[in-house]
Structure 1
Amino acid sequence: MRGMPAEEIHGETRLPVRKPSWKMIGPGMVVAATGVGAGDLVATLIAGSKFGYTLLWAAVIGCVVKIALAEATGRWHLATGRTIFDGWRSLGPWTTVYFAVYVVVWGFVYGATAMSSSALPLQALFPDVMPLKAWAIITGLLGLAFVWGNRYAIVEKIMMVFVGVMFVVVVYCAIRVSPDLGDAFAGLAPTLPSGSMIYTLGLIGGVGGTITMAAYGYWINAKGWTDVSWLRMMRLDNRVAYVTTGIFVVAMLIVGAELLHSTQIALAEGDKGLLDLDEVLENRFGAFTANLFLIGFLAASFSSLIGVWHGVGLMFADFVEHVRAHRAGKDPAETEVVEIARGARERSLPFRLYLLWLTFPPMALLWLDQPFGLVIAYGVLGAFFMPFLAVTLLWLLNTSRTPEEWRNGWLSNGLLAASAVLFVVLCVEEIRDLPW
C-alpha cells in the first residue's frame, strides 16, 4: 500500500499495526457535524411530536445503517488506495455524468439553503441588526473565507467545537423537558403506528445521510490515514461519530415527544420549524434556554455549511483531476490519496472554484426564490444520491476492484443491501412529494 513505509515481519512485508486511539478521532466528527443539519433536527422533532417515543427504535437502526455506509466508504479508500470517485469511474462513464450534473445543480441550490439556514438563528438572536438575506450572505462569506484559508486540520478542530456545542445544547434541552424514561425505553420495541411509515423511513435513512457520507473517505485521507493499517482507527472514529449522531437524534426525539406531542403543538416544515421550537422553549423555560437553543441551531447549520464547502469541494477537485487525467491518458489513482493527505487538493484551482460556486451564484436565489425547474432537478438528484452510494458500494466491495481480504462480509452486505432498499423507497417517496 502507498502512503506508509512497510516493515519485514517473519519474512513477509506487512504494514505496521496502528492501535486505535481516542485522541485521533476527528473525521467522523466532521461527518456528524456536517450531516446533522437544521432540517434533520426538524424532521426528528416532527416525528417525536406526532408519535411520541414510538419511533425511537428507528433512530437507533438509522445509526447502525450509517455506520455501515461510512465504514464501507472508508474501507474502500484505505484498502484500495483509491478514492470513491475513482471507484465510481470504474463502473462506467454513467457515474461520471451523474456526478457532474449532481455536484453542479445540487451545489447551486444547497449553497442558498445552507446560507439561509445559518442566517435564521442569527436573525432570531439579533432581530434588529440586519435582514435575513444580509445574515445569509455574511454566513456564506465567512464559510468561504474559513475553508479557503485553512487546511483540514483546522477545519476538523472547529468542527469538533461545533459538535461539542450541539451535543451540550441538545442534551441540555432533552434533560430540561424531563423525559419519561419508561416510555423512552418502550420506544425501543419496533412498532409502526398508523401513518408513521414515511416518518420511520425518514428517521432510519434521513438524519446524517447526505453526500457528506461519501466525503468521509476524503476526510480520512486528509487526516493522513491512507492505507489499511488505519482501518481499526477508522472504524473507531466512525462508530463514535454515529453514536454521537444517535444521541442528537434521540435527544431531539425526546424534546419533540415531551414538549410538542403532549401539547399537540405543530412545527413549520423545514428549518423555520426550529424557530417555532425556540418560542415554545422560551414560553416554557425562559429566555436563557431559548437563546442557548438558538446557539445550538446555529452550530448545526453553520457546521453543515463548512463541512459541505470543504468535503464536497475535495470531491469536486478529485472529479476534475480524474477528467484531466483521462484526457491525458494517465491514471490519477497513482497519487490521488497521497495528494489529498498532504493537502494538495485543498490548494488546487478546482477546489477553490467550487467554493466560489457554492457561495456566490446561490446568493441570487436569496432574492429570486428557487426557480421551479431547479427545485425539481435538485430534489430528484438529491433523492437518488443515497441509493446510488449504497448500490455502488455493494458493487465495488464485492468484486475484484477490492483486494479479497477487504471485501464485504455477510454483515456488511446485509446492512448495505438493507440500506439500498431503504433509500430506494425514500427516493420514490421524495420524488412523489416534489411539486411537479
Structure 2
Amino acid sequence: MDARVDRPQPGWRSERGEASLSDVHRSITVRPTGPGWRRAAAFVGPGYLVAVGYMDPGNWATSLAGGSKFGYTLLVVALVSNIMAIVLQSLCARLAIASGRDLAQACRDAYPKPVSFVLWLLAEIAIIATDIAEVIGTAIGLNLIFGIPLELGVIITALDVFLILYLQKLGFRWVEALVITLLGVIALCFAIQIALADPDWGQVVRGFAPTTEIVRNPEMLYLALGILGATVMPHNLYLHSGIVQTRAYGESLPEKRQALKYATIDSTVALMFALTINASILILAAATFHKTGQTSVAELGDAHKLLGPLLGLAIAPTLFGIALLCCGINSTVTATLAGQIVMEGFLKIRLPPWLRRLITRGIAIIPAAAVTIWYGDSGTAQLLILTQVVLSLQLSFAVFPLVMFTADRTKMGELVAPRWLVAFAVLIALVIAALNLKLLVDFAGGAG
C-alpha cells in the first residue's frame, strides 16, 4: 500500500506527505460490507498497544504504594485517570482518521519550525524516560524470576530489538497478537493472586466512590496526584494517532465515521482492561500488605518478597514477576513504535527500525545500567520516580496541541470534535497541567 497522499487538505499548511510507519500503513484490510462485528474486529489491536502504557512499572510502583498505605481508598483515582485517558485517546483516533496525520505530523504542519523542533525534542526525552522505566521493569522481572543480577538484566533487555524486528517482518497483526497475548498472561497472573488474597469486595466497591478524605489527607493527596499525573503517557498520544492508520478504512466520510466509531470502541475497551490491571495491583496491595500492617511497600522487589509469606503460596511471587516481565516486554514494543512515529513525523527522518531501536535503547541503558551498578535496588526506584517526573513535564506539550487540533473545524472538517467533548477535553488538559505542575513543585521541594 502506497503511504503517500498528495491531496492537500483545508486548514493545513501542506500536504500530508508520506505516512509514518509506511511499511504497515493501511496494510490491514477493513471489509466495507458484512457483519458489523467483523468490521469491528478489524480495528481490534491498536487500543491494546496503547493500554500497555497505562500499566508500566511506574504505575505499578504508585499503585503498590497507594494500596499498601491507604487500602482501597485510591481506587477512585485510578478510575478518574482512566476516564481521562479514554477521552484523550479517542481524540488521537479522531485526529488520525479525519486528517490522515499522526500527532507529530500535525504539529510539524501547524507550528513554525523552531516550535516544532522543541516539541520533537520534548517528545524524544519523554520516550527515552519511558524506555528507562521499561529497561528497569524488565530487568527487575528477570531478577525476580530467574535470579539474574539487575546489572546483567539491564543489558539483556537490549536483545528485545530482534523480537520486534522479527514480528514487524511477519506483519503488524503479529505485533498486536504478541501484545494482547502478554496482556492476557498479566491478567491471569493477577486473577490468581487476587483469588489467593481474597480481598474484601465490599471495600473494593466502596473504593471506587469519591471521598473528601483524599483531599483532606496531604499524604493521600500526593499519592493520588502521582497516580493521576503519571497515568497518561505522552508517547501514547503519538503512538495511537500513528497505528490507527494501519487500517485501510477508506477515504469517504461514511467510511471515516465508521472507522472512528470502531477505533474508539477498541481503545475504550482496551483502556478498561488497563484499569482492571491497575486496580488489581492496588487491590492486591490492599488485601495483602495494608491488611497485615505493611503500609510502606512501594519497591517492586519488596512486594515480590512479601507476597509468598502473606499469601502462603510459593507461586505467588513468581506470578508477580512473570506479570512484570510481560509488562516490560510489551512496553518496549510500544516505545519503539512511538519513537519511529515521533522521529518520522516531526523530522521526516526515516531510520530502519533496528537502528531506531538500538539508539533509544542504548540511550536508556546507559543511565539505567549506571544506577543499578552503583546504587542497586534503591537507585532503580529513584530513577523510576525521576522518569515519571520527566514524563509529567512533557505531557501537556502533547495534550494541548491534540485538543486544539481536534477542536478546529478547518483542520478536522465534518469529524471535528463536538463541543461537549472539546469542553471535557479542555478540562482534562487543565487538570493534568495543574497536577503535573504540583508534582514538579513537590519534586523540586523534595516532597516525594
CA contact (8 A) 1:65 1:204 kept: no
Measure the CA separation in 2 of the matches of 1:246 and 1:375.
21
Secondary structure of the equivalent of 1:264?
Answer: coil
- Which residue does 2:139 correspond to in 1? 119
Pairing of 1:167-178 with structure 2 (within 5 A) = 167-178=187-198
Pairing of 1:150-169 with structure 2 (within 5 A) = 150-151=167-168, 152-169=172-189
Secondary structure of the equivalent of 2:47?
Answer: helix
Question: CA offsets per residue over residues 180-236 of structure 1, 9 Å max, x none?
Answer: 122122223211321222322333343353412321111111244565141111011
- Which residue does 1:63 correspond to in 2? 82
- Which residue does 2:327 correspond to in 1? 300
Out of 379, 399, 403, the residue aligned to residue 390 of structure 1 is 399
Q: Provide structure 1 residue ranges, at least 5 long, that are not aligned to the other structure.
A: 4-14, 325-347
- Which residue does 2:16 correspond to in 1? none
Q: Residue 277 in 1 paired to residue 322 in 2?
A: no
Q: Residue 402 in 1 paired to residue 406 in 2?
A: no
User: How many positions carry a matched residue from both structures?
Assistant: 393
Out of 103, 118, 125, the residue aligned to residue 84 of structure 1 is 103
CA contact (8 A) 1:218 1:315 kept: no
CA contact (8 A) 1:390 1:416 kept: no
Secondary structure of the equivalent of 1:211?
Answer: helix
CA contact (8 A) 1:70 1:214 kept: no
CA contact (8 A) 1:70 1:216 kept: yes
Q: TM-score, normalised by structure 1?
A: 0.81
Change over 3 Å in CA distance of 1:23–1:397 after alignment to 2: closer
Change over 3 Å in CA distance of 1:113–1:56 after alignment to 2: closer
Q: Provide structure 2 residue ranges, at least 5 long, that are not aligned to the other structure.
A: 4-30
Secondary structure of the equivalent of 1:111?
Answer: helix
Change over 3 Å in CA distance of 1:401–1:432 after alignment to 2: same
Measure the CA separation in 1 of the matches of 2:319 and 2:177.
21
Q: TM-score, normalised by structure 2?
A: 0.79
What is the CA distance between 1:75 and its match in structure 2? 0.5
Measure the CA separation in 2 of the matches of 1:201 and 1:176.
30
Cα RMSD (Å) of the superposition? 3.0
CA contact (8 A) 1:399 1:407 kept: yes
Change over 3 Å in CA distance of 1:76–1:108 after alignment to 2: closer
CA contact (8 A) 1:78 1:230 kept: yes
- Which residue does 2:439 correspond to in 1? 430
Structure 1 window deviating more from structure 2 (72-81 vs 169-178): it is 169-178
Out of 220, 242, 256, the residue aligned to residue 285 of structure 2 is 256
CA contact (8 A) 1:71 1:235 kept: yes
Out of 355, 365, 378, the residue aligned to residue 353 of structure 1 is 355
Change over 3 Å in CA distance of 1:113–1:185 after alignment to 2: closer
CA contact (8 A) 2:233 2:391 kept: no
Q: Residue 319 in 1 paired to residue 340 in 2?
A: no
What is the CA distance between 1:386 and its match in structure 2? 2.2
What is the CA distance between 1:163 and its match in structure 2? 0.8
Change over 3 Å in CA distance of 1:180–1:427 after alignment to 2: same
Secondary structure of the equivalent of 1:403?
Answer: helix
Measure the CA separation in 2 of the matches of 1:29 and 1:305.
14
CA contact (8 A) 1:52 1:258 kept: yes
Change over 3 Å in CA distance of 1:261–1:94 after alignment to 2: farther
Measure the CA separation in 2 of the matches of 1:409 and 1:391.
17
What is the CA distance between 1:60 and its match in structure 2? 1.6
Measure the CA separation in 2 of the matches of 1:378 and 1:293.
22
Structure 1 window deviating more from structure 2 (170-179 vs 86-95): it is 86-95
Change over 3 Å in CA distance of 1:319–1:139 after alignment to 2: same
- Which residue does 1:235 correspond to in 2? 264
CA contact (8 A) 2:228 2:435 kept: no
Q: Residue 41 in 1 paired to residue 43 in 2?
A: no
- Which residue does 2:422 correspond to in 1? 413
What is the CA distance between 1:30 and its match in structure 2? 1.0
What is the CA distance between 1:396 and its match in structure 2? 0.6
- Which residue does 1:218 correspond to in 2? 242
Measure the CA separation in 1 of the matches of 2:166 and 2:346.
22
Q: Residue 140 in 1 paired to residue 169 in 2?
A: no
Change over 3 Å in CA distance of 1:108–1:31 after alignment to 2: closer
Secondary structure of the equivalent of 1:189?
Answer: coil
Question: CA offsets per residue over residues 231-288 of structure 1, 9 Å max, x none?
Answer: 111011011111101111221221122112222314554xxx2221112211122211
What is the CA distance between 1:401 and its match in structure 2? 4.0
CA contact (8 A) 2:123 2:235 kept: no
Measure the CA separation in 2 of the matches of 1:392 and 1:140.
33
